[in-house]
Amino acid sequence: MKIRAVEPIVTGTPEGEPSTPWSSTMVIVRVTTDTGAVGWGEAPTTLMTLPVRESVREVARFYVGRDLAEHHRCFQEFGRYSFYRTRSMEATAALSAVDIACFDLLGKEVGAPVHALLGGKLRDRLPAYANGWYSDCIEPEEFAEKARAMQRRGYRALKFDPFGDQYGTLSPDGLVAASARVRAVREAVDPTTDLLIEYHGRFFPEAAIRAGQELDRYGPRFMEEPVQPDLCDRLREFRHRVRTPVALGERLLTPADFESFLRRGLVDVLQPDITNSGGFTSGREIAGLAAGFGAPVAYHNAFGPIQTAATLQLVSTIPTFFLQESFEASWPAWKQRLVSGYSWEGGTFEVPNGPGLGIRVDEALLEKVRSDEMEPVGPEPPWVIGGTWVRRSPPPAGGPSPPRRARSK
């Protein structure tokens, strides 16, 4: 079975449906063989959507016309030719998406789920933590109300960013506001519910440490990316002065990156992203490193349903699996309809057992949301959960809020 085509597809917001960039923009990759079989992959976005799309076309040159069974060789050959791959998010994202699609095709060819190709799953259901649930939350009581709603849906772990528009430095008022938001959530939910604090890699070390020492009092399970990523060596000081464990990994691109952070004692909880750290091919190596260091693994999963399906296949095989990130409950309706085959009820995922990724993609809907546009910018960065950096305008009376991004074909 030879690979005939590798096609990147960018999605946007359908007209009339309110959405924000983090929930509407995706780069989906469709790989087709000469037998007509189709495999699906996904790559990250966040102000690199169109460069990633073009990088997929670069990667395709190493796969098209080759036998599917040679996909690992194609992976390695691209690494030799792509001089900056280990430092290029665009290159690793594109390669990861194609790798995921190849494993999807391999599973379909032999009639087995990807987790069987990786040695077999260790668990049937995966506990999830909710993200994206706190859109349009500024005041502490708004965070508390939505946190209670997620607990009623079965989630026993909630991740959120309490820092509003603070970036780099952290003002006294900004620290007071962040503490009030976390306290409100802590008091709103069951004491056994885990709180996970998202920093988004936004602070200089001094500000990150002050925030960590203040928020320690609420007993969070981890603090994610507390310092700006180019200052990561200062994480050693953060871990020395803050009690809460450090989680990171969504910006690390290779198994060697993860090994370096583990060996230097800069991280407690690993958060790889299957869509930018080498797909399943490198994912197996990262899982081995985590097991060797005894490090808990909580895969980053902030983009789309194909990413989720691939992640579930991989993490179900990892001995040190900890928690799985989930945005599903906060996606717009069209995105929830795009893929079927996995379930996420009661705060847990059920691992799919169908061939390949175990999913079905609604290709007619995919065509309707296809877009050639860049992600919008302002008044909030595209990585922000909408309405938490600045207060969004309320929707007009008698109708939905306008879309943040118009459909374009």
Given 71, 115, 200, 240, the catalytic residue = 200
The CB density around residue 59, as the number of other CB atoms within 10 Å, is: 27
Residue 125 is which amino acid?
Answer: R
Given 71, 115, 240, 300, the catalytic residue = 300
* Residue 159, strand partner residues: 196
Gyration radius of the chain's alpha carbons: 20
Q: Is 294 exposed, middle or buried (0-12, 13-18, 19+ CB in 10 A)?
A: exposed
E runs forming strands in 12-124: 26-33, 38-43
Q: Is the peptide bond before 172 cis (omega within 30 degrees of 0)?
A: no
Quote the DSSP letter at residue 258. Answer: H
Are the C-beta atoms of 317 and 356 separated by less than 8 Å?
no
- Distance between CA atoms of 198 and 385, rounded to whole angstroms? 11
Query: Is 115 noted as a catalytic residue in this protein?
Result: no
First to last CA, the chain: 32
Query: Is 300 noted as a catalytic residue in this protein?
Result: yes
Are the C-beta atoms of 207 and 200 separated by less than 8 Å?
no
- What residues have CB less than 8 Å from 292, skipping those under 6 apart? none
Nearest to 254 by CA among 229, 228, 223, 283: 283
- Distance between CA atoms of 98 and 393, rounded to whole angstroms? 39
Catalytic residues: 200, 300
